[in-house]
Amino acid sequence: MKLTGAQMVCESLIREGVDTMFGIPGGAILPLYQTFHQYPQLKHILVRHEQGAAMAADGYYRVTGKVGVAMATSGPGATNLVTGLATAQMDSTAIVAITGQVSRGAIGKDAFQECDITGVTLPVTKHNYLVMDINDIPRVIKEAFYLAKSGRPGPVLVDIPKDLFTEEAEFIYPETVEIPGYNPTLEGNMSQIKKAASLINSAKKPVILSGHGAVLSRAFDEVKDLAERAQIPVITTLLGISSFPETHVLSLGMPGMHGVAYASMALDQADLIVSLGARFDDRVTGKLSSFAPNAKIIHIDIDPSVIGQNVRTQVPLVGDVKSVLQTLIPQVKQNNHEDWVQHIEEMRINHPSLRLKEKNNLTQQYIIKKISDITQGGAVVVTGVGQHQMWTAQYYTFSQPNSWVTSGGLGTMGFEVPAAMGAQVGKPDSVVWSICGDGGFQMTLSDLATIVENKLPIKFAIMNNHFLGMVRQWQHLFYEDTFTATQYSGNPDFVKLAEAYGIHSFRVTEKSEVDNAITDAMEHDGPVLIDFMVDPEENVYPMIPPGESVLEIVEEPTEEPTWR
Amino acid sequence: MAIGEHTLVALVLHQPGVLNRISGMFRRRGFNISSLTVGQSESEDLARMTFVVQGDDATVEQVTKQLYKLVDVVRVTDLDEDNSIVREMALVKVSATNQNRSEIIQISEIFRSKIVDVGVETVVIEITGDQSKIDRFIILLQPFGIREVMRTGAVAMSRGNAVTAQIDNNVSGASRVNNRPKDYDQNL
């Protein structure tokens, strides 16, 4: 069967199970777009900025587990994808980005809208391709999807010159991939699993540190099994949130810089850390030399390079978290760790990190707690980056597996709008809340148009403090209240802005209005935007200052921290 | 080997952009390499690269893992100093006069190097050996006035039967290269 390059791309995408793509056309990719009408099973969602295409594809992957697809034209279209690709690379999420390139004869000649996008994206993709022969298109797309979703997932970019789209060749779709340099280890090594089991069986104060790998491998049942079988408390990293139900008695929540005190303390006092797809980021460990001084570490990860990268490991265990746990769990003896669990319960009571303070002002903590209560912890929650992200991590009680979408590694502000869009497209029947900062929201709000166009009933809650709140907090704590370039005094009227897009919107200024506002938003059939006018001076606590140990934790903002 | 120089040999796909991927990884992860060479292997579609890396064992372990993470890298071996051959070639252009030319030739003979060009005022010498031999050779020539030095960087190979990455030409496709040592996961 002879096909054009453009038809080959579409046929390949269909064979990879793609039904939704996010993108914007332009000169170099136009011949591909002009074939879409032949393939009605491929739904293209026209975004307003290519950054939104990459981040929507990311949000889509995170909630569905299906590779997200982003498309852009050459040059500026392609470079606009970069922040989204970097976000995906840091958080190990599977995206395939397809970009148009100038025709082969023009490559390297600074042609109009030419950019070496494979060169640009080298450090922010798992792998990328510049296709120079039409016969390579099916193989490259097959490999791109395989690389993106297998092993430690990540973004893959495929750059295709314009003239390939209109050439014709025989279309043969390969059944398998053969990549000699790529062979991820999925099953754990038996003798290492035995060692892990014996460490778990002899531990007195074990904790599970559950990270994004547990979510990505969908090991929800296994994490729960392991925790319950040996009564091991579960700490979830920022991206590990929703790998274990926070309503569970063994759930401790998030540790680290803005984690709850008892989770950080449990890590500090543990004699064994069972790490499930976590990578001991500096926001979790703080000062490495004093991190978990008494703990042995079983480090389970699909990526060998993160094992031993930051912390010393007693049992390195390369493999897929779900697969490794399935082999490991039968070797773990039932246990109750009564004293340890009891001790942690006491820490939880003595260090009530999540107690809401009796204040009359409208705080983000209060709003997020209310959203959590009213949605019964069952919504898909998307955030941007900063104070509202930390408070959502703290105060939203996630009861459903894989219901949390946030940019953890790269910390990408503006993620909240397009990622929510991708999440709602991926899960049309779920309630999706996008908790936004007024700073991040203004970076990507152009996709409100896309949301309206596609009738996506996302509920936006803007935590409007007229500040880059987290930066302001650091200026307060570490720079003697010198608030340089953090105040947003010229914010638009977000309610009017939303209305201009045709989005139902209202403003909340009083605590007493919060319940009704959230309920109204839930009852409205369509997107809603609530502009919450929150206290600009609230700071996120607990806080372990950067580079310090858990001993330096400041739990309550009642007095000035000693390290200020 | 503890802190110092490690010689790594990698088998990589012989494709455009591979060198860029590898050198880019070294740069962005902050690894120090003192030399990098690349050339065709015994198989048409595979190339061998030799890196000389500065660092302790933990650094070399990270370098190895990060190399494996690149899709185009098939196999990486950290060569044991005592059990491998490391060679570098250099061309050295040195000032020569009628008075001292014979002295230069004498030194060259001691080092088993080859005079490849004799000019009115210069001599070009080709020398092969391990890095320290070439270092010493250059030091000895310095008094004559060195005009230009061009070193290739090290290439290396293990002694005896061991092959840095076995290619089985009887099998087709990916499986013809065993891409990871069997004990790799245990020895992390």
A313 to chain B, minimum CA–CA distance in Å? 10
Q: What is the CATH number of the domain that holds B145?
A: 3.30.70.1150
Contacts of B58 in chain A (CB under 8 A): 308
Residues B16 and B45 in one domain: yes
Residues B146 and B163 in one domain: no
Distance CA A401, CA A221 (A): 10
The answer to whether position B185 is within a domain reads: no
Residues B22 and B67 in one domain: yes
User: Would you call A179 and B12 a contact, using CB atoms and an 8 Å cutoff?
Assistant: no
A50 is catalytic: yes
**Of A307, A315, A276, A277, whose CA–CA distance to B62 is shortest?**
A307
**Of B188, B183, B130, whose CA–CA distance to B156 is shortest?**
B130
Residues B75 and B14 in one domain: yes
ipTM entry: 0.91
pLDDT at B183: 44
pLDDT at B172: 47
User: Would you call B186 and A304 a contact, using CB atoms and an 8 Å cutoff?
Assistant: no
Residues B37 and B90 in one domain: no
**Of A320, A282, A285, whose CA–CA distance to A301 is shortest?**
A320
- Tokens 């497209």 label which residue? A425
Report which secondary-structure segment, H or E, holds A82. Answer: helix A82-91
What single-letter DSSP state applies at residue A48?
Answer: S
**Tokens (6 digits) for B86:** 């490391």
Residues B95 and B144 in one domain: yes
Distance CA A56, CA A426 (A): 10
Assigned CATH for A364-540: 3.40.50.970
Tell me the CATH number of domain A190-350, given options 3.30.565.10, 3.40.50.2000, 2.40.50.100, 3.40.50.1220. Answer: 3.40.50.1220
User: Would you call B68 and A147 a contact, using CB atoms and an 8 Å cutoff?
Assistant: no
User: Would you call A308 and B21 a contact, using CB atoms and an 8 Å cutoff?
Assistant: no
Sheet with A95-101: list strands edge to edge: A43-46, A20-23, A68-72, A95-101, A155-161, A127-130
For residues A329-348, give the mean pLDDT. 97
Select from B26, B29, B63, B71 the residue whose CB has the most chain A CBs within 10 Å, as the one to mutate to test that interface: B71
A112 is catalytic: yes
Chain-centroid distance of CA A425 in Å reads 16
Residues belonging to chain B with any Cβ–Cβ distance to chain A shorter than 8 Å = 12-13, 17, 20-21, 24, 28, 58, 61-62, 65-66, 68-74, 173-177, 179-180, 184-186, 188
Q: Which residues contact B8 (CB under 8 A, 6 or more apart)?
A: B50, B51, B52, B53, B60, B63, B64, B67, B76, B77, B78, B79
What single-letter DSSP state applies at residue A357?
Answer: P
pLDDT at A496: 98
- Tokens 């930051």 label which residue? A310
* CB-nearest partner of A122 from B21, B176, B177: B21
For residues A516-531, give the mean pLDDT. 98
Domain A2-170: what homologous superfamily? Thiamin diphosphate (ThDP)-binding fold, Pyr/PP domains (3.40.50.970)
The answer to whether position B183 is within a domain reads: no
User: Would you call B185 and A185 a contact, using CB atoms and an 8 Å cutoff?
Assistant: yes
Beta bridge mates, A381:
A404, A433
Q: Between residues A155 and A357, which one has the greater pLDDT?
A: A155
For residues A349-376, give the mean pLDDT. 93
The answer to whether position B139 is within a domain reads: yes
User: Would you call A178 and B24 a contact, using CB atoms and an 8 Å cutoff?
Assistant: no
Low-confidence ranges of chain B (pLDDT < 50): 1, 171-178, 181-184, 186-188
Residues belonging to chain A with any Cβ–Cβ distance to chain B shorter than 8 Å = 118-119, 122-123, 126-127, 130, 147, 178-183, 185, 189, 191-192, 303-305, 307-309, 313, 316, 318
List chain A domain ranges.
2-170, 190-350, 364-540
Give Rg (Cα) of chain B. 20
Residues B147 and B164 in one domain: no
pLDDT at B180: 54
The answer to whether position B72 is within a domain reads: yes
Contact A298, A280 (CB under 8 A): no
Contacts of B62 in chain A (CB under 8 A): 305, 308-309
User: Would you call A308 and B13 a contact, using CB atoms and an 8 Å cutoff?
Assistant: no
Residue B166: give the domain boundaries: 4-79+159-176
What's the pTM? Answer: 0.94
User: Would you call B179 and A183 a contact, using CB atoms and an 8 Å cutoff?
Assistant: yes
Strand pairing category for B4-13 and B73-79? antiparallel
Per-residue CA distances from A261 to A268, A373, A552 (Å): 10, 22, 11
DSSP string, A135-151: GGHHHHHHHHHHHHHSS
Residues B89 and B141 in one domain: yes
Q: How many CA atoms lie within 13 A of A419 on its CB side?
A: 35
Q: Residues in chain B, how many?
A: 188
Q: Number of A to B CB contacts under 8 A, please give it.
A: 64
Residues B116 and B69 in one domain: no
The answer to whether position B56 is within a domain reads: yes
A190-350 with A364-540: one CATH topology? yes
Contact A30, A100 (CB under 8 A): yes
φ, ψ (nearest 5 deg) of residue B8: -110, 140
Report which secondary-structure segment, H or E, holds B117. Answer: strand B114-118
pLDDT above 60 (res A564): no
pLDDT at B166: 59
pLDDT at A121: 98
Domain count, chain B: 2
φ, ψ (nearest 5 deg) of residue B162: -60, 135
The answer to whether position B24 is within a domain reads: yes
Distance CA A515, CA A360 (A): 15
Determine if the peptide bond prior to A492 is cis (ω within 30°). no
Strand pairing category for B84-95 and B122-129? antiparallel
Closest-CA residue of B relative to A185 is B185
The pLDDT tens digits for A15-70 are: 999 999 999 999 999 999 999 999 999 999 999 999 999 999 999 999 999 999 99
Give Rg (Cα) of chain A. 24
Distance CA A70, CA A78 (A): 10
Beta bridge mates, A463:
A437, A532
pLDDT above 90 (res A1): no
Residues B70 and B91 in one domain: no
Q: What is the CATH number of the domain that holds B29?
A: 3.30.70.260
Strand pairing category for A155-161 and A95-101? parallel
Contacts of B17 in chain A (CB under 8 A): 118, 130
B175 to chain A, minimum CA–CA distance in Å? 7
The pLDDT tens digits for A124-134 are: 999 999 999 99
A89 is catalytic: no
User: Would you call B69 and A305 a contact, using CB atoms and an 8 Å cutoff?
Assistant: yes
- Tokens 């340890």 label which residue? A340
Q: What is the 3 state secondary structure string of A476-516? A: HHHCCCCCCCCECCCCCCHHHHHHHCCCEEEEECCHHHHHH
A162 is catalytic: yes
For residues A440-463, give the mean pLDDT. 98
A36 is catalytic: no
Residues B60 and B108 in one domain: no
A315 to chain B, minimum CA–CA distance in Å? 9
Q: Which residues contact B58 (CB under 8 A, 6 or more apart)?
A: A308
pLDDT above 90 (res A390): yes
pLDDT above 90 (res A370): yes
User: Would you call A122 and B62 a contact, using CB atoms and an 8 Å cutoff?
Assistant: no
Q: Residues in chain A, how many?
A: 564
Report which secondary-structure segment, H or E, holds B8. Answer: strand B4-13
The answer to whether position B119 is within a domain reads: yes
Q: One-letter amino acid identity for B146?
A: I
pLDDT at A509: 97
Residues B127 and B39 in one domain: no
φ, ψ (nearest 5 deg) of residue B70: -75, 130
Tell me which of A126, A142, A149, A162 is the catalytic residue.
A162
* CB-nearest partner of B174 from A147, A180, A313: A180
